[in-house]
Structure formats: structure tokens, C-alpha cells
A = this chain, B = another copy of it.
Amino acid sequence: MYNFEYKNPTKILFGKGQIACISREVPGDARVMITFGGGSIRQNGVYDKVRAALGTRPVIDFGGIEPNPDHATLMRAVDEARTEKVDLLLAVGGGSVLDGTKFIAAAIRHPGDPWELVRKGGRGLQSAVPLGTVLTLPATGSESNPFAVISRRETGEKLAFSSPLLYPRFAVLDPETTFSLPTRQVANGVVDAFVHTFEQYMTYPVGAELQDRFAEAILSTLIEVGPVTLANPRDYESRANFMWTATLALNGLIGNGVPQDWATHTIGHELTALYGIDHARTLAVVLPHLLRVQSAGKAEKLLRYGARVWGISEGDNSGRVEEAVRRTETFFESLGIPTRLSTYEAAADTPARVARRLADRGTLPIGERQDIDADKITRILRASLS
């Protein structure tokens, strides 16, 4: 096990009716900006519950934060928050709204250009406006972590940044707020949480037994409750398990003291940038093929995963490894998430193009051993396109 530091100060308020607790968590005299997306929270009653919990506090609404939140949109919110002297940001939505609100929280008091801060990965942030979150789409873990991914369409950038100052003060996780989600978003969320877990788990063993078992616990739970919550959107228990599992998948806990491999995300982001494919769906078309190309270095963990999560006990090692990958693919497909890039209208030169984009940006090599280069990326995406 590697040395690590870990602190997650976000207060979780989990369960039915917990939106009302916001009244306790927000100072009585705070000026609050509520940030949200396309407005579904106005239809499903979540917005009204949030407003009721805020009582007579002054509230500024900022809606319209888009999927893959855009710098231009967010800077409008920053201007408004500065003008209105906002004390607290309350992000109500899924990962895009939460990530975007982290940018707003960082930018408001930042003396320089906030985009420079993002380009530096968040280094140098001195102060942030406090934020709280009301999660309506379990998937990214953003509700209780310090990470955000922001897009800038005018320059074609999509960058991740983080700062300990950006941990939300509180996160309301009420499974009932997610009952009205479209099936597609729930399926995406299950795959997103699954792949986050994989990227912290599927590398090589470093003797971190508990982290491995916790990761396997998350994967097993997603495999168990994913199909149930997809088929029965209003079943509280399966939705609650999905919601809590997605939070634990990326709150930092399982990544403590272990090597990580975020190559699937890195490659996937390019597919979103080029073709607008949903984030989770890009992960599903990259991961299985990456596992095959990297199977030599990941074999020990793939065998463990196969045995513990899928109960695979037959065949020789290479057969078991392939079976573990195949089961993963089948699981994604069972949720309606394709695992082939050929499903989408991607050009034949996509593999080489993605590899070149990443190489040109100086991102390569990637992977837990820094051995995924342009050639391997091309092979991974060709396998997915075939």
C-alpha cells in the first residue's frame, strides 16, 4: 500500500425528505445562488422543495448550465454572483451542474483569469465561495469530491481541475429526486460509477486489500442494483443503493494508497469532444478494449476481479481474463449501453485522430505504468470500431 493523505469533509444528508435539512446547513442571513440545468427540477418539485428549505433568505436563480458545462455560461454566473454578493452556491442537478458550480465558486473571488486557474488544474486557488449540492443524477461523485471538468467550446478545451477548497459543505442525496430521470441517464450513471471504480482498482496489486475489497463491493452492488433500478425507477431501495454507491465510487476512499489508471476517461473525453457522445458511453466503448490491450499488465487484478465479482473459476488464466472482460461488456450492453465505437457515426480515422490529438497536447503516455502511447490508443479504438 502506498502512503496517502485523505480528508473528505463533505456532510452527507442521505434519504427521503432530506432537502428540508438545507435550512440547518445554510446560515440564516446567506445570499444564496441556486444553480441548475435545463429546468427539470422545476417540473419534478425539487426546486420548490429547495426554495421552501431556504425560507426567507435572498435567492438568485441561475439556470441553463448545459451538459459538459461551458466556460462562457459559467462566467455569466460568476458576473451575476459578484454583482449580487452571493455568500453560498447551491448546485441542484447532476455532475455537469455540480462541476460547473465548482468553477463558479472558484472564480468569484479569484483575482486573475479563472480559466488560467483551470489550466493549472486548480493550483493556486486561495479562496472559494462555499457550495452545497442537491444531487439529482447519481453518476460522477461530484457531490462530495473536489473535482470538476469544464469545457470551453470557443477553444475546444475540456479540462479537469480540483482544489480542497471545492469540497461541497454538504450534499443532499434524496433518492426520490431521481425518480423522474430518463432511463438513458440512469444507465449512463451506473456505467460512469462502474468505470470510476475500475480506474482506481484495475491496475496491479500493491497489497491494498481493503481498497480492493471496497472496490469489488461497489462493482458487485452496481451489478446487482443497476438493472433493478433501471427497470423500476420508483423502487426506493435499489435507487438508494445506486445513489450511495455512485457517491462512494468517487469520493476518494477507494483510491487511497493505490495506483490508478484514468486512461479510459482521457480517451473518452476526446470522443465526447469529437462526436458529442455521452460521457459514460465513451467510457463503455473504451474500457473493454483497453483492458484487452493492457491485459498483460492487468492480468493479476483481472483474475481477482473475475473470481470475486463474477465468480469465474474455470479455464486457464488467459481464458479467465477474457471472460472477466466479456462479462463487463455484457453488463454494459445489458443496461443498453453499447461497447463498440462502431455503434456511433465515428469516422474510420477516429483511432489515429484521437491518438494524435492527445499526443499533440502532450498528454501521452498515460495508464498506471505510463505505457499507453499513441499506438496503443489507436489499437484500442480500432478494436472498438471493428
Across the interface, A1 reaches (CB within 8 A) one of B4, B220, B240, namely B240
**Are B12 and A6 in contact (CB-based, < 8 A)?**
yes
**Are A4 and B9 in contact (CB-based, < 8 A)?**
no
Q: Report B-chain residues with C-beta under 8 Å of the C-beta of A248.
A: 210
Across the interface, A257 reaches (CB within 8 A) one of B7, B14, B214, B256, namely B14
Judged by a CB distance under 8 angstroms, whether A59 is at the interface is no
A125 → B minimal CB distance (Å): 18
Judged by a CB distance under 8 angstroms, whether A16 is at the interface is yes
Judged by a CB distance under 8 angstroms, whether A370 is at the interface is no
| Contacts A4-B14, A6-B14 given; does A210 touch B221 at CB 8 Å | yes
Q: Report B-chain residues with C-beta under 8 Å of the C-beta of A260.
A: none
| Contacts A9-B9, A213-B220 given; does A207 touch B18 at CB 8 Å | no
CA distance A357 to B15 in the complex (A): 38
| Contacts A15-B2, A16-B3 given; does A210 touch B244 at CB 8 Å | yes
Across the interface, A3 reaches (CB within 8 A) one of B3, B11, B14, B209, namely B14
- A1-44 contacts to B, CB under 8 A, are 1-18, 21
CA distance A217 to B218 in the complex (A): 11
Q: Report B-chain residues with C-beta under 8 Å of the C-beta of A209.
A: 221, 224-225, 241, 245
A317 → B minimal CB distance (Å): 22
Judged by a CB distance under 8 angstroms, whether A52 is at the interface is no
**Size of interface on A: residues with Cβ below 8 Å to B:** 41
CA distance A217 to B210 in the complex (A): 7
Across the interface, A12 reaches (CB within 8 A) one of B7, B9, B210, B245, namely B7
Judged by a CB distance under 8 angstroms, whether A181 is at the interface is no
Judged by a CB distance under 8 angstroms, whether A208 is at the interface is yes
Judged by a CB distance under 8 angstroms, whether A368 is at the interface is no
Across the interface, A14 reaches (CB within 8 A) one of B12, B225, B240, B256, namely B256
A254 → B minimal CB distance (Å): 10
**Who on chain B is nearest to A8 by CB?**
B8
Judged by a CB distance under 8 angstroms, whether A237 is at the interface is yes
**Are B1 and A5 in contact (CB-based, < 8 A)?**
no
Q: Give the 9 A-B residue pairs with the shortest CB-CB distance, closest first.
A: A3-B15, A213-B217, A7-B11, A207-B237, A6-B12, A9-B9, A1-B240, A209-B241, A210-B221
5 additional contacts, CB 8 Å, given A2-B15, A5-B13? A1-B240, A4-B15, A5-B14, A15-B257, A209-B245
25 cross-chain CB contacts under 8 A: A1-B237, A1-B240, A3-B15, A3-B16, A3-B18, A4-B12, A5-B12, A5-B13, A5-B14, A6-B11, A7-B9, A7-B11, A9-B9, A12-B256, A15-B257, A207-B237, A208-B241, A209-B224, A210-B218, A210-B245, A210-B248, A213-B216, A213-B221, A214-B217, A244-B256
